[in-house]
Chains A and B, each alone.
Chain A
Amino acid sequence: MKLTKTLLATTALTVAAGMASADGHMASEMTIVSWGGAYSNSQQQAYHNPYMEKTGVTIINDESSAEAVAKLRAMNEAGNVTWDVVDVVAADAIRLCDEGLAMEIDADEQLAPAPDGTSASDDFGDLLVSDCFIPQIVYSTTFGYRTDMVGDNPPTSVCAVFDTETYPGKRALEKRPINNMEWALLCDGVPKDEVYDVLETEEGQQQALDKLGTIKDDVIWWSAGADTPQLLADGEIVMGSTYNGRLFSVIEEQNQPVAMLWDAQVFDLDGWIIPAGLSDERKARALDYIMFATDTQRLADQAKYISYGPARMSSAPLVGQHAELGIDMAPHMPTDPENAKNTFLYNYEFWADYRDDIDAKFQAWLAQ
């Protein structure tokens, strides 16, 4: 009897609570997926904490961005999507959009305009590379080298990677064709604006692999962004590619004898998507968060904690100093004019088409 009463009371309470939240049309808890480490920390400081303070929502962090596409697909097939907002790189966002796993966003309606009234779609400009993607930062994949291992002749060009005579020692490259194929062609004499035309052909792909073949045994192939910083810090390699923010923390925060080689850095975008198939209240909450977290001031705030450039044009002038080190962040941004003399932009359309094919060839080449 007593048990029945308790059960009834609990049920009533739960129903009432459910209705209350349905009235407000927003959930009070949300799961945000990101990359972990220093990057998640910068988001926690710049976005999550102010948002939780403002709205009283609890934000749960999940560090699964590296497997986000596979996991979202599995969740979608199981009909139980537990994530509300997911941080992914642009190429993954395009694939999620293609597979119908991410929600389409109308930038002008669902994102905040710039303080001067410029619409969000103009403020983000070309960086809105997919209908489902809300860009957050511009990062770059570039090289760092050991200053104590290059003598009086520090490298100034990306082709130093292929020059094992001047710069003996191991180098670290990512275990995938993207970026490496471009650099190889560039250093094999292909003009920058023809790289993708060449890479479309069988011969061009072979040419890039042959060029990479000249240093095949001098390369440590990495698959996690933390590998190159560790290898550099241990003196295991003379130079290696990784994300510029990782190199920033090796150089400025850990004071290792490492310097940046910005030449031919490849810009890429990272940002948010909202999974398709959320309930109305969770969708409303996710959109509210996105509107808050991608406004001009918030994007500029993130640059206080990590050296990635904000994706809005209007945020750039607001980038200040590092929150703990107190150094100016602008010269450490990949988009700084001094660093961006020679850059690539990740070619999303090309790699969406050629990724499967070139990857198969690259993996086969690698294994032999």
Chain B
Amino acid sequence: MSNGSATTGPDQITGATPDNAMRNADRADSGPMLAADGTTLKSSLNRALRRQKLRALMLIAPLLIFVLLTFIAPIADMLFRSVENQIVSDTLPRTVAALKDWDADGETLPEPATFKALYTDIFIAQERKLHTRLGSRLNYELTGVSSLFRKSGRKVEDMGEVYQDQFEDLNGYWKKGENWNALLGTPAWLEAQNAWEEDSGAAQPAFEPRPEIAAVLPQTTATFEIFADFVQNEDKDNLAKKDPWALVYSALYDDLTAGADVAAYAGPGATELQEAAAAVSGFETVDFPTAFEDIDEDWQSLDVWQTLKVYSPNFTSGYFLNSIDMQKTVDGPALRPENQRFYVMLFMRTLFMSLVITGSCILLGYPVGYILANLPAKTANLLMILVLLPFWTSLLVRTSAWKVMLQQQGVINDTLVWLGIVADDSRLALINNQTGTIIAMTHILLPFMILPLYSVMKTIPPSYVRAAKSLGATNWTAFWRVYFPQSVPGIGAGSILVFILSIGYYITPEIVGGRTGVFISNQIAYHISSSLNWGLAAALGAILLAVVLGLYWTYDKIVGIDNVKLGG
């Protein structure tokens, strides 16, 4: 501190430290302090620190990536399913577009053009085997759609064959796939396609429409492109050897009746095309609404079309509405009929029973934790093994053991009858109801309560209680006013663990819960593995997650998460 340098404030007390030196160096006019390699000391230090941080990040990177990939990503993906609904617009794009302007509230069916769009969509979907998938999806919303789509997929081909047959009867030219290829494809592509060999391993030359014919027959060309794309890329078949779908014939009919200017066209197949153009006016036509009615009269039902319209957007709130006992209708969300409501009740029951289980765990676990914490180490360790033993036994074995214990012809009832406490004909119902679930789950989750309690109680010095007693407190006052408050963080930690674990439990309630003792997670499991309604399962899961986070937040506000201790 010679020649009165500018050390002020706290620096004056601490004296010469590296920190102060740096600060002084910064203040000095003589330029920044330099490190050995000539850079400023500050940036050199920063660099060293950055390297350290990076190294720390690299060390936790495997865990971070693991958690992101195996935990966060799947959960995010699953939650996304609860709103995702692209299947409708992906499978029936034209119908969805045509339904945009249809008034779903009205009493009239959609325009015939919508039926025409539906025909095109279902035709393509059944070739790609997607129509039944959509049927299963919509069957969750409206009974019978599953078979409606399956049936329509089987019969839709017949509709287009009306035109196909007439074209083919008119001229054998229309029967052959190669003629179609020559009519619609560019010569360069045609040559490459005909030269292509299936076994050569080379990629099949992608179909290219000829601009001259695309101008004359726009719909036919567009439909044929879809057909060609399907044959080449999904069916992996040789396009040169394939005859077009019946759908292409209906497109040709549409083009020709719409007044295609075939006279101006002079490429391959021009004469056949002109002949067809002259003949189409005499063709038998297909009335699509009637044709669909012939397949199934459900196509005349407003319900089917309303469901299609309501579920046509790419994202839907339908699954979430279902999980709170509501449904999507044309007039907006509405409550389900009384006899189909039960999810809300199941959520309530799950919360209530989890609370009861947590409560019984506290009641049973607290004395055990207290004894463990106050016994000599040797005895305590032995007892600790008894607490941990269930952890090492399979969950299924423990649950099945409860079945043997609790059933009406089981060990507990037999003993009670033998002791004469209950009569033989009025044995207690301890299983396949809520009692069974509460007993079995309390037993299974008890260690999660005892362990945090034990580790917190272990750190409470016995001298506090002794001091309280020496000051005149009764046993109860000493416990309640001195000991208990110090053990509360253990109760908090144990309760959070037990409550959150039990709210998502499903295997134990499934086995011992019977009809009334099952949780919402059993419904989630049911929709994942049996009904395959993954969207609904995802929505139920998302709500459960939100409820748990909400409770956690409330807990933090009321008790404070800092007051939770898992150990000393």
B132-A98 in contact (CB<8A): yes
Which of A353, A355, A356, A367 meets B515, CB within 8 Å? A367
With A235-B409, A368-B342 as contacts: A353 and B144 at CB distance below 8 Å: yes
B146-A98 in contact (CB<8A): yes
Interface membership of A192, Cβ < 8 A: no
- Which of A98, A100, A365 has the most CB atoms of chain B within a 10 A radius of its CB? A98
B408 nearest in chain A by CB position: A236
Interface membership of A95, Cβ < 8 A: yes
Q: How far is the CB of A79 from chain B (nearest CB, A)?
A: 14
A365-B339 in contact (CB<8A): yes
Interface residues of A in 233-247 (CB under 8 A from B): 234-236
A97-B339 in contact (CB<8A): no
Q: Which residues of B contact A363 (CB under 8 A)?
A: 342, 523, 526
Q: How far is the CB of A264 from chain B (nearest CB, A)?
A: 23
A69 nearest in chain B by CB position: B532
- Which of A73, A99, A354 has the most CB atoms of chain B within a 10 A radius of its CB? A99
A231 nearest in chain B by CB position: B407
Interface membership of A60, Cβ < 8 A: no
Interface residues of B in 337-385 (CB under 8 A from A): 339-342, 345-346
Interface residues of A in 345-365 (CB under 8 A from B): 349, 352-357, 359-361, 363-365
A349 nearest in chain B by CB position: B147
A364-B147 in contact (CB<8A): no
Interface membership of A129, Cβ < 8 A: no
Interface membership of B135, Cβ < 8 A: yes
With A353-B146, A357-B143 as contacts: A220 and B136 at CB distance below 8 Å: no
The total of interchain contacts (Cβ-Cβ below 8 angstroms) comes to 86
Q: How far is the CB of B328 from chain A (nearest CB, A)?
A: 15
A98-B342 in contact (CB<8A): no
Please measure, in the bound complex, the distance between the C-alpha atom of A209 and the C-alpha atom of B144, giving whole angstroms.
Answer: 20
Interface membership of B187, Cβ < 8 A: no
Q: Which residues of B contact A216 (CB under 8 A)?
A: 515
Digit string of B519-544 for contact with A (CB within 8 Å is 1, else 0)? 00001001011111100000000000
Interface membership of A366, Cβ < 8 A: yes
Interface membership of B437, Cβ < 8 A: no
B146-A359 in contact (CB<8A): no
Q: Which residues of B contact A70 (CB under 8 A)?
A: 528-530, 532
B513 nearest in chain A by CB position: A221
Interface membership of B140, Cβ < 8 A: yes
Interface membership of A223, Cβ < 8 A: yes
B143-A353 in contact (CB<8A): yes
Q: Which residues of A contact B340 (CB under 8 A)?
A: 360-361, 364
Digit string of A205-218 for contact with B (CB within 8 Å is 1, else 0)? 01001000000100
Digit string of B119-142 for contact with A (CB within 8 Å is 1, else 0)? 000000000011011011001100
Please measure, in the bound complex, the distance between the C-alpha atom of A353 and the C-alpha atom of B304, giving whole angstroms.
Answer: 14
A99-B514 in contact (CB<8A): no
Interface membership of B84, Cβ < 8 A: no
A220-B135 in contact (CB<8A): no
Interface membership of B469, Cβ < 8 A: no
A366 nearest in chain B by CB position: B515
Please measure, in the bound complex, the distance between the C-alpha atom of A355 and the C-alpha atom of B136, giving whole angstroms.
Answer: 11
Please measure, in the bound complex, the distance between the C-alpha atom of A114 and the C-alpha atom of B516, giving whole angstroms.
Answer: 51
Interface membership of B306, Cβ < 8 A: no
Please measure, in the bound complex, the distance between the C-alpha atom of A101 and the C-alpha atom of B102, giving whole angstroms.
Answer: 35
Please measure, in the bound complex, the distance between the C-alpha atom of A252 and the C-alpha atom of B352, giving whole angstroms.
Answer: 46
B518 nearest in chain A by CB position: A367
Q: Which residues of B contact A368 (CB under 8 A)?
A: 342, 345
Q: How far is the CB of B336 from chain A (nearest CB, A)?
A: 9
Interface membership of B225, Cβ < 8 A: no
Interface membership of A336, Cβ < 8 A: no
Q: Which residues of A contact B529 (CB under 8 A)?
A: 66-67, 69-70
B432-A220 in contact (CB<8A): yes
Q: Which residues of B contact A219 (CB under 8 A)?
A: 515
Interface residues of A in 166-222 (CB under 8 A from B): 170, 206, 209, 216, 219-221
Q: How far is the CB of A192 from chain B (nearest CB, A)?
A: 22
Q: How far is the CB of A194 from chain B (nearest CB, A)?
A: 19
A236-B407 in contact (CB<8A): yes
A352-B146 in contact (CB<8A): yes
B510-A223 in contact (CB<8A): yes
B528 nearest in chain A by CB position: A70
Which of A73, A97, A170, A356 meets B531, CB within 8 Å? A356
Interface membership of B150, Cβ < 8 A: yes
B139-A353 in contact (CB<8A): yes
With A70-B532, A73-B532, A364-B342 as contacts: A99 and B133 at CB distance below 8 Å: yes
With A73-B532, A353-B147, A364-B342 as contacts: A234 and B139 at CB distance below 8 Å: no
Please measure, in the bound complex, the distance between the C-alpha atom of A230 and the C-alpha atom of B143, giving whole angstroms.
Answer: 36
Q: Which residues of A contact B516 (CB under 8 A)?
A: 367
Q: How far is the CB of B514 from chain A (nearest CB, A)?
A: 6
With A353-B147, A357-B143 as contacts: A95 and B345 at CB distance below 8 Å: no
B400 nearest in chain A by CB position: A230
B144 nearest in chain A by CB position: A353
Which of B133, B147, B346, B409 meets A352, CB within 8 Å? B147
Q: Which residues of A contact B339 (CB under 8 A)?
A: 206, 209, 361, 364-365
Q: Which residues of A contact B140 (CB under 8 A)?
A: 356
Q: Which residues of B contact A73 (CB under 8 A)?
A: 532
Q: Which residues of B contact A221 (CB under 8 A)?
A: 432, 514-515
Please measure, in the bound complex, the distance between the C-alpha atom of A355 and the C-alpha atom of B514, giving whole angstroms.
Answer: 21
- Which of A221, A231, A234, A353 has the most CB atoms of chain B within a 10 A radius of its CB? A353
Q: Which residues of B contact A235 (CB under 8 A)?
A: 409
Please measure, in the bound complex, the distance between the C-alpha atom of A199 and the C-alpha atom of B518, giving whole angstroms.
Answer: 27
A68 nearest in chain B by CB position: B529
Q: How far is the CB of B143 from chain A (nearest CB, A)?
A: 4
Q: Which residues of A contact B147 (CB under 8 A)?
A: 349, 352-353
Please measure, in the bound complex, the distance between the C-alpha atom of A137 and the C-alpha atom of B546, giving whole angstroms.
Answer: 46
Please measure, in the bound complex, the distance between the C-alpha atom of A349 and the C-alpha atom of B148, giving whole angstroms.
Answer: 11
Q: Which residues of A contact B144 (CB under 8 A)?
A: 353-354
B346-A367 in contact (CB<8A): yes
B143 nearest in chain A by CB position: A357
With A98-B136, A99-B132, A234-B409 as contacts: A356 and B346 at CB distance below 8 Å: no
Q: How far is the CB of A75 from chain B (nearest CB, A)?
A: 14
A71 nearest in chain B by CB position: B529
Please measure, in the bound complex, the distance between the C-alpha atom of A367 and the C-alpha atom of B515, giving whole angstroms.
Answer: 6
Digit string of B399-421 for contact with A (CB within 8 Å is 1, else 0)? 00000000111100000000000
Q: Which residues of A contact B531 (CB under 8 A)?
A: 355-356, 359
B129-A100 in contact (CB<8A): yes
Which of A67, A356, A366 meets B143, CB within 8 Å? A356
Q: How far is the CB of B234 from chain A (nearest CB, A)?
A: 11
Q: Which residues of B contact A220 (CB under 8 A)?
A: 432, 514
Q: Which residues of A contact B341 (CB under 8 A)?
A: 364
Q: How far is the CB of A357 from chain B (nearest CB, A)?
A: 4
Digit string of A85-110 for contact with B (CB within 8 Å is 1, else 0)? 00000000001011110000000000
Please measure, in the bound complex, the distance between the C-alpha atom of A220 and the C-alpha atom of B407, giving whole angstroms.
Answer: 11
B142 nearest in chain A by CB position: A357
B150-A98 in contact (CB<8A): yes
Digit string of B17-48 for contact with A (CB within 8 Å is 1, else 0)? 00000000000000000000000000000000
With A98-B133, A100-B133, A234-B407 as contacts: A356 and B514 at CB distance below 8 Å: no
Q: Which residues of A contact B129 (CB under 8 A)?
A: 100
Please measure, in the bound complex, the distance between the C-alpha atom of A77 and the C-alpha atom of B89, giving whole angstroms.
Answer: 19
B136-A95 in contact (CB<8A): yes
A209 nearest in chain B by CB position: B339
Besides A98-B132, A98-B135, A170-B408, 17 more A-B contacts (Cβ < 8 Å) are A66-B529, A98-B133, A99-B133, A99-B136, A99-B532, A221-B515, A352-B150, A353-B145, A353-B147, A354-B143, A355-B531, A361-B340, A364-B340, A364-B341, A367-B515, A367-B516, A368-B342
Can you list 15 residue pairs at the A/B interface with Cβ under 8 Å? A67-B529, A70-B529, A100-B130, A100-B133, A219-B515, A220-B432, A234-B410, A236-B409, A352-B139, A353-B143, A353-B145, A359-B531, A363-B523, A364-B341, A367-B342
Q: Give me the 10 closest cross-chain CB pairs, A-B, nearest first.
A: A98-B132, A364-B342, A357-B143, A70-B529, A367-B342, A100-B129, A353-B147, A67-B529, A353-B144, A235-B409
